[in-house]
Amino acid sequence: MSFVQWNKVGSEGMIAEIMLNRPDARNAFNTQMAKELIEISGLVAHSDARAVLVTSSNPKAFCAGADLKERNGMTEQEWRDQHHLFEQMFYAIADLPQPSIAVVDGYALAGGFEIVLNCDMIVAANTATFGLPEVTRGIMPGGGGSRLLAKRIGVHRAKEWLCSGRFVTAEEADRAGLVNRLTDSTLLREVALELAERIAKNAPIAVQNCIAAVEALYGMNDLEARKEELVYYNRCLDTEDRHEGVRAFVERRPPKFRGR
């Protein structure tokens, strides 16, 4: 059985959907699921998709984190080896060149929340629940939680969420600035697709460089950032899409971007 699936969705098939598919375990990721997610992320990265949705086959749980049943009884070295695999899984998602959108309903906990944080944007149902409860199990997040959460909600809130290990409702997460869209669970997929479609219709080289620039420039010294920003800007200049964008504007028609 495959624990991760992917296919093309959207009106023009320009959006890749990566679906976590271990519903009986609330999509808790084990060794097999991590390997599959790494492999599929690589396929999507090299596809012609212009945006990526990361979804769940279980409406009650986006992902409950690592499978502790599989980890029970592991030696310290086995735990470290498996965690190294999990690290590669998180990085495979984070390193997707296309903008990625986590589509969250139900529980997104521990490593499951970290999968969400490694995506570029978050669309959540008002029935979603977020949390990093690792401290209640004698450990801390190791897949981006302590590194990425503060970028979303600020240092002071991130420290509280990390150190308390408490669960956070979708409404509180939205107020904290975590999510891009908060909607009713019945409209979740529709809202996520609308956002992905809006992104996918734009010039993919420009979009990908916007994502890369934000990641690279955030927190950088401003003088250095000014110079580095132009590196990303200049990558868009000598492209057919840039010429097409100008032509379409002058001719008063929608542009037809081809990613070159």
Q: What is the DSSP letter of 11?
A: T
Residues 105 and 144 in one domain: yes
Residue 29 lies in a domain: yes
| Residue 16, beta-bridge partner list | 8, 52
For residue 66, indicate whether it is catalytic. Answer: yes
Same domain, 98 and 225: no
**pLDDT in the model for residue 115:** 98
Residues 195 and 178 in one domain: yes
**Are residues 37 and 85 located together in one domain of the fold?**
yes
Catalytic residue among 10, 111, 112, 131: 111
Whole-angstrom CA distances from 199 to 10, 100, 115 are 12, 10, 21
Q: Count the helices and strands in the chain (H runs, E runs).
A: 11, 10
In a domain, 41, yes or no: yes
CA triplet 102, 105, 108: central angle to 5 degrees?
70
Of the candidates 63, 70, 59, the one whose C-alpha atom is nearest the C-alpha of residue 37 is 63
Directed axis angle between helix 222-237 and helix 204-217, to 10°? Answer: 170
Residue 46 sits in the same domain as residue 132: yes
Are 32 and 152 contained in the same domain?
yes
**What is the C-alpha separation between 108 and 28, in angstroms, rounded?**
10
Token pair in block for residue 72: 């029970």
- Residue where a domain stops, chosen among 200, 225, 241: 200
Q: Which residues span the domain enclosing 39?
A: 4-200
> How far is residue 160's CA from residue 158's CA, in Å, rounded to a whole number?
5
One domain for residues 80 and 188: yes
Q: Which of 17, 34, 51, 134 is catalytic?
A: 134
26 close to 107: Cβ distance less than 8 angstroms: yes
Identify whether residues 135 and 40 lie together within a single domain: yes
Confirm whether 259 is domain-assigned.
no
Give me the catalytic one of 61, 64, 66, 110.
66
Looking from the CA of 245 toward its CB, the CA atoms found within 13 Å total: 15
Question: What is the CATH number for 235?
Answer: 1.10.12
pTM above 0.85, yes or no: yes
Name which of 142, 141, 102, 106 is nearest 118 in CA terms. 102
Residues 109 and 225 in one domain: no
Catalytic annotation present for 134: yes
Cα dihedral 31→212→98→198 (10° resolution): 140
Annotation says 10 is catalytic: no
Q: Torsion over CA of 138, 114, 216 and 87, rounded to 10 degrees?
A: 70
The partner residues of 203 in beta bridges, in order of sequence, read none
Residues lower than pLDDT 70 in the chain? none
SS3 (DSSP) at 182: strand
Q: How many domains does the chain have?
A: 2
Shared domain for 95 and 164, answered yes or no, is yes
Instruction: Catalogue the E-assigned strands of the chain.
Output: 4-9, 15-20, 51-56, 61-63, 100-104, 107-109, 121-125, 129-131, 167-169, 181-183
Burial class of residue 138 (count of CB atoms within 10 Å of its CB; 0-12, 13-18, 19+): exposed
What is the CATH classification number for the domain harbouring 87?
3.90.226.10
Q: Indicate if 224 and 196 belong to the same structural domain.
A: no
On whether residue 260 sits in a domain, the answer given is no
Specify whether 111 is catalytic: yes
Catalytic residue, from 10, 61, 112, 114: name it: 114
Same domain as 214, residue 166: no
